[in-house]
Amino acid sequence: MYTGRIRVSTGSVHEVLELADRFLLIRLKEFCGEFLKKKLHLSNCVAIHSLAHMYTLSQLALKAADMIRRNFHKVIQDEEFYTLPFHLIRDWLSDLEITVDSEEVLFETVLKWVQRNAEERERYFEELFKLLRLSQMKPTYLTRHVKPERLVANNEVCVKLVADAVERHALRAENIQSGTFQHPASHVSLLPRYGQNMDVIMVIGGVSEGGDYLSECVGYFVDEDRWVNLPHIHNHLDGHAVAVTESYVYVAGSMEPGFAKTVERYNPNLNTWEHVCSLMTRKHSFGLTEVKGKLYSIGGHGNFSPGFKDVTVYNPELDKWHNLESAPKILRDVKALAIEDRFVYIAARTPVDRDTEDGLKAVITCYDTETRQWQDVESLPLIDNYCFFQMSVVNSNFYQTASCCPKSYSLENEEAVRKIASQVSDEILESLPPEVLSIEGAAICYYKDDVFIIGGWKNSDDIDKQYRKEAYRYCAERKRWMLLPPMPQPRCRATACHVRIPYRYLHGTQRYPMPQNLMWQKDRIRQMQEIHRHALNMRRVPSSQIEC
């Protein structure tokens, strides 16, 4: 205090802040606030937010609150959250922007907070319960879990709220059956929180009618059975690969040479795309899957290459790719599954010497990412509908020209091996319209145990190529295929994947600008076309004058 110098560390900052506040040392207090800003992390944001409120550090409080808000679904897994006082719990449940996986999780969070000190906290339960959006909970959850809960059953107000929510669900189901259902827009409590993560089937890149590349992504909003616009990618993607991790959606490669090495990733929490380290080789139609937090790129081929044996690994923390030992054979048109966070099962095609229609043979192989050994197998493990569907169409042109989102399974490899079979039932295809399997360039993905087929084209020749906007969904519950609303515009050779996106980016009608680099390229192509058209006209002029 007298020397004008002080050393602040992570261990001492709380004591220094307390002294600075007590003795009105404003500059020291502000310095502590800036120090804590730099140390702000998901593991300490709840504690720092409480400190910021205690010592009226408004900028620090805002920054910590924003981190909590965007990561609320992770913050509530930390025991420190359940030490917060009632008024802060109430404030967070009142916040429309908190990122949550579901209202069911929030109900369980309220119960857990109350049970930490039942004698003191039970009196707050009704007020917190009123802040939950019961209409966003599944009817079965309301009747089986919420209604029987002692704190609910013993409170008349809570019982009435549950009954009203169940009745709204019944009316909604009745209106859907009669075809008169409309999405509620009158009262904010009937809508999801803006921060609630919603299930979306995201469709990325591809080509549309006239060979135009599509940079704008679209998404099928599962709960509302409609398509929404999502931000543009920065590249012309065609024949690219997709992989979904805990935090991002990655896309890589393209048939378009200028973009064949590019890699981008989508952040659902921010609804933005960003570039990351490029591939080491220009390629497309390769496998991309996550194993232990790293991305494995396997095989593929280029426009002037018969194919690749490459195996490369991307480390997100270092933002770098590095080469591993190559596969024993060329692998093209790769589809991948990951088992036990170690084994990658691959369905692909490889060039052969014998005279076949396209000189390619279908192969299925397994790659051990730890021993880096390869072993051919008879089929993909028949674990769920997604695997059964792929094996039912594995030898078709439909499958070989399609893109398939990789899927990871937690079961042990020994169990997966037992599910490999030489004969596969095609029962899953029974209700699928036969013409769907004549489509090429479709995007295939999954959501839970459902399977999606999106877009593609019919008739391979460029003259009569029919680009498709249809989308189909295999409903595991009903055991049949359903035709979904069509995409906003046709597209083929796109990729699709399931991702959870906050409701704030899905409600209403969203519009996104095309990236500047693609706008510039589009203008450049238009100028070149005009120059070419003008040159052709100039050639015709002398000819017509001679004829005259």
Which residues, at least 6 apart from 332, have a Cβ–Cβ distance to it below 8 Å?
Answer: 285, 299, 300, 301, 307, 348, 349, 350, 351, 360
DSSP-derived pairing of the beta strands 197-204 and 287-291: unpaired
pLDDT for residue 336 is more than 70: yes
| Res. 544 pLDDT band, cuts 50 70 90 | very low
Q: Are residues 507 and 526 in the same domain?
A: no
Q: Is the CB of residue 285 less than 8 Å from the CB of residue 252? A: no
Structural domain including 548 reads 519-548
- Report if residue 38 sits inside a domain: no
pLDDT for residue 546 is more than 50: no
- Report if residue 97 sits inside a domain: no
- Comparison of pLDDT for 27 and 526, the residue scoring more: 27
Q: Are residues 252 and 378 in the same domain?
A: yes
pLDDT given at position 538? 66
Q: Are residues 129 and 112 in the same domain?
A: yes
pLDDT for residue 211 is more than 60: yes
pLDDT for residue 184 is more than 70: no
Q: Are residues 347 and 480 in the same domain?
A: yes
- Report if residue 87 sits inside a domain: no
CATH number, domain containing residue 187: 1.25.40.420
Q: Mean pLDDT over residues 306-332, rounded?
A: 96
Q: Mean pLDDT over residues 504-508, rounded?
A: 92
| Res. 18 pLDDT band, cuts 50 70 90 | confident
Question: Which of 69-73, 367-371, 511-515 has the weakest average pLDDT?
Answer: 511-515
Q: Are residues 479 and 338 in the same domain?
A: yes
Question: Which of 7-16, 77-86, 175-184, 450-459 has the weakest average pLDDT?
Answer: 175-184
pLDDT given at position 188? 58
Q: What CA–CA distance (Å, rounded) separates 429 from 396?
A: 13
What's the domain count of the chain?
3
**Average pLDDT over the chain, rounded to whole?**
90
Q: Summarize pLDDT for 240-288 with one digit per residue, the tens.
A: 999 999 999 999 999 998 899 999 999 999 999 999 999 999 999 999 9
Q: What percent of the chain has pLDDT over 90?
A: 72
Q: Summarize pLDDT for 388-400 with one digit per residue, the tens.
A: 999 999 999 999 9
- Report if residue 47 sits inside a domain: no
**CA dist 283 to 238, 254, 305, 308, 410, Å?**
11, 6, 9, 9, 30
pLDDT for residue 408 is more than 80: yes
- Report if residue 29 sits inside a domain: no
Q: Are residues 326 and 428 in the same domain?
A: yes
- Report if residue 496 sits inside a domain: yes
Q: What CA–CA distance (Å, rounded) separates 158 from 147?
A: 9
Q: Are residues 272 and 181 in the same domain?
A: no
Q: Are residues 239 and 381 in the same domain?
A: yes
Q: Mean pLDDT over residues 189-209, rounded?
A: 92
**117: phi then psi, degrees, rounded to nearest 5:** -155, 70
CATH number, domain containing residue 437: 2.120.10.80
- Report if residue 5 sits inside a domain: no
Q: Which residue has the tokens 């692998």?
A: 331
Which of 160, 195, 230 lies at the terminal end of a domain, its last residue?
195
- Report if residue 52 sits inside a domain: no
Q: Is the CB of residue 463 less than 8 Å from the CB of residue 210? A: no
Q: Are residues 219 and 365 in the same domain?
A: yes
pLDDT for residue 20 is more than 60: yes
Q: Are residues 207 and 151 in the same domain?
A: no
Q: Are residues 127 and 143 in the same domain?
A: yes
Q: Are residues 280 and 140 in the same domain?
A: no
